[in-house]
Amino acid sequence: MSISIGDMEINSRGKVVGYAAGGAKNYRSKLLAMGLTRGTEFTVTRVAPLGDPVEINIRGFNLTLRKAEADILLVERSGG
C-alpha cells in the first residue's frame, strides 16, 4: 500500500514506488532529476510544524520538498 511522505514520522524510512496519476509532468521530471526514482530509499529527517515542507535524506544529501511536490510521490514504509 502506498502512502504520502507527509504521512510518515520523523526518522522513518521509506522507498519510492511510483508517482501519482495526474501529477504535473514538470514536477515529475524535476523529482526524477533530484534522484527520486523508483526503488530509491530515503529517511524522513524533519517535518515543519504544519507539515509543509518535509525534509528527507536521500542518496547522502538532504532534500526539502513542499507538500504539493511530495504528494506526487507514492512511497511505502521500509524496515529499519
More confident residue, 62 or 26: 62
Whether 80 has a pLDDT exceeding 60, the answer reads no
Look up residue 50 and give its three cell numbers.
504544519
Q: Which long-range contacts (CB under 8 A, 24 or more apart) does 50-54 make?
A: 51/6, 52/6, 54/5, 54/6
> Which sequence spans correspond to the domains of the chain?
5-77
Q: What is the pLDDT of residue 20?
A: 80
pTM score, whole prediction: 0.81
Supply the CATH classification number for the domain 5-77: 2.30.30.90
CB 41 within 8 A of CB 14: yes
Q: What is the DSSP letter of 7?
A: G
Q: What is the pLDDT of residue 23?
A: 59
Q: What is the pLDDT of residue 6?
A: 78
Q: In whole angstroms, what is the distance from residue 79 CA to residue 61 CA?
A: 20
Q: What is the pLDDT of residues 21-55, one digit of tens each?
A: 765 677 788 888 888 888 999 999 998 888 789 99
